Amino acid sequence: MYNTSCQRISFNFEHRFLPPVYILVFIVGLVANGWGLKCLLQNWKNLRIINVFVLNLGLADILYLLTLPFLVVYYLMESKWIFGDAFCKITRFCFNLNLYGSIGFLTCISVYRYLVIVHPIRVMGRITLTHSVGISVMVWLLVSVQSLPDMFFTKTSVNSTEGCYDTTNKIYVEDYLKYSLGWTLTGFFIPLLIILGCYGHVIVVLCRSNTTDKLLKQRCLKLLCILILLFSVCYIPHHVLKNLNLWSRVLLKQGICRKWSNGVYIAHQISRGLVCLNSALNPLVYLHGKENILAQLRQLLQQTCLMFSHPPPAGSGSVSMAQITDEV
């Protein structure tokens, strides 16, 4: 089951794979989140409870996207961090805020949709905009407290101060594995069960009801598909492979070399690229309710082409984008 001589792990893979992924996510994520938040804020006067959660989801994405250029430089320089140890920890902290903040706000959106659809009479008038703001503040606080211990783990290698690990060095890897497993349980697995329970019950109620609006059913199914996509592509592989990779590092420290260690390491790096895609995919959550999204995209592209091909007439005002729907 294990060898006394360890196979060399391909550490260079992350230098080739992560930079182009981060650049793509940075561009697509900024454009998508910027457009989505603009649509949301244009309808600020009619802001509804669920849109408060969506707004915070977008802010969490922007916070992480702004750190990606520094990580691109880091991996292009073959893991030489030149921005200081404090900023390294802040960068990793922003990633954790984005990851678990996104999961937290997706959970809030799912619970709210569940209450509105399954128990509309009980929640009508009892959940206000103030409640949604308070819940959002609690999510930020809980995620911050949960992510704070990560900043106390050393992020540099044993013989160098130039690294910026997403976990920690080999000296503290056993403790970090325990922390990561607890973090996975509270920050990922429990919210996943809540989301599955909420949408499982919602789908049952919608399928049994013959009076439910067809548009509402379509929107719920769309959001469920988006959540399945996010968790299947971004969240589940990252948490599984992250803990497997930490376990293999613990075994390696003990002199136990598994044949799958190199494969797990490479798969973990791929999952790190996939998990950052959540910042580019999250805008689907607040754009899925727009029935004419393709038409609006086409119109926006046509206006952009006209703007570059023909100068606008003097005194003409800019054409505003269609308002995003309040229902998510």
pLDDT digits (tens, 9 = 90+) for 70-85: 999 999 988 889 998 8
287-318 pLDDT, tens digit each: 665 544 545 555 655 666 666 565 544 443 33
Q: Is 133 exposed, middle or buried (0-12, 13-18, 19+ CB in 10 A)?
A: middle
CA distance 297 to 321: 10
| 225 — pLDDT class (breaks 50, 70, 90) | confident
Give Dmax over CA atoms of the chain in angstroms: 77
Asked if residue 150 has pLDDT above 60, the reply is yes
What pLDDT score does 312 carry? 45
Q: Which residue has the higher pLDDT, 287 or 192?
A: 192
| 113 — pLDDT class (breaks 50, 70, 90) | confident
Say which range, 183-187, 226-230, 268-272, has the weakest mean pLDDT: 226-230
What pLDDT score does 327 carry? 40
Q: Which residue has the higher pLDDT, 252 or 139?
A: 139
Q: Which residue has the higher pLDDT, 249 or 11?
A: 249
Asked if residue 320 has pLDDT above 90, the reply is no
Asked if residue 240 has pLDDT above 50, the reply is yes
CA distance 107 to 121: 21
Asked if residue 27 has pLDDT above 70, the reply is yes
252-273 pLDDT, tens digit each: 888 887 888 888 999 999 999 9
Query: 211: closest CA among 120, 318, 146?
Result: 120
Classify 291 as helix, strand or coil.
coil
118 to 121, 194, 219, 228: CA distances (angstroms)? 9, 15, 15, 21
Q: Which residue has the higher pLDDT, 171 or 322?
A: 171
Asked if residue 319 has pLDDT above 60, the reply is no
- Residue length, the chain? 328
Asked if residue 180 has pLDDT above 60, the reply is yes
Q: Which residue has the higher pLDDT, 14 or 11?
A: 14
What pLDDT score does 96 carry? 95
Asked if residue 322 has pLDDT above 50, the reply is no
Which residues face 3 on adjacent strands? 257
Q: What is the DSSP letter of 311?
A: P
| 10 — pLDDT class (breaks 50, 70, 90) | low
Query: 147: closest CA among 186, 97, 105, 181?
Result: 97
Instruction: Kindly report the backbone phi and psi dihedral angles of residue 205, in degrees, each rounded to the nearest multiple of 5, phi listed first.
Output: -65, -45
Asked if residue 274 has pLDDT above 80, the reply is yes
Contacting residues for 159 by C-beta, under 8 A, at least 6 apart: none
Contacting residues for 121 by C-beta, under 8 A, at least 6 apart: none
Instruction: Kindly report the backbone phi and psi dihedral angles of residue 3, in degrees, each rounded to the nearest multiple of 5, phi listed first.
Output: -115, 155
Q: Cβ atoms within 10 A of the Cβ of 169, count?
A: 18
Say which range, 41-50, 115-124, 253-262, 302-311, has the weakest mean pLDDT: 302-311
Asked if residue 46 has pLDDT above 80, the reply is no
Which residues face 257 on adjacent strands? 3
What pLDDT score does 93 carry? 95
What amino acid occupies position 187? G
pTM for the predicted model, two decimal places: 0.84
Asked if residue 3 has pLDDT above 70, the reply is no
pLDDT averaged over every residue in the chain: 82
CA distance 270 to 263: 11
Domain boundaries 13-287, corresponding CATH code: 1.20.1070.10
What residue segments make up the domains of the chain, in order of their start?
13-287
- Tell me what the mean pLDDT of segment 29-40 comes to: 85
What pLDDT score does 74 carry? 93
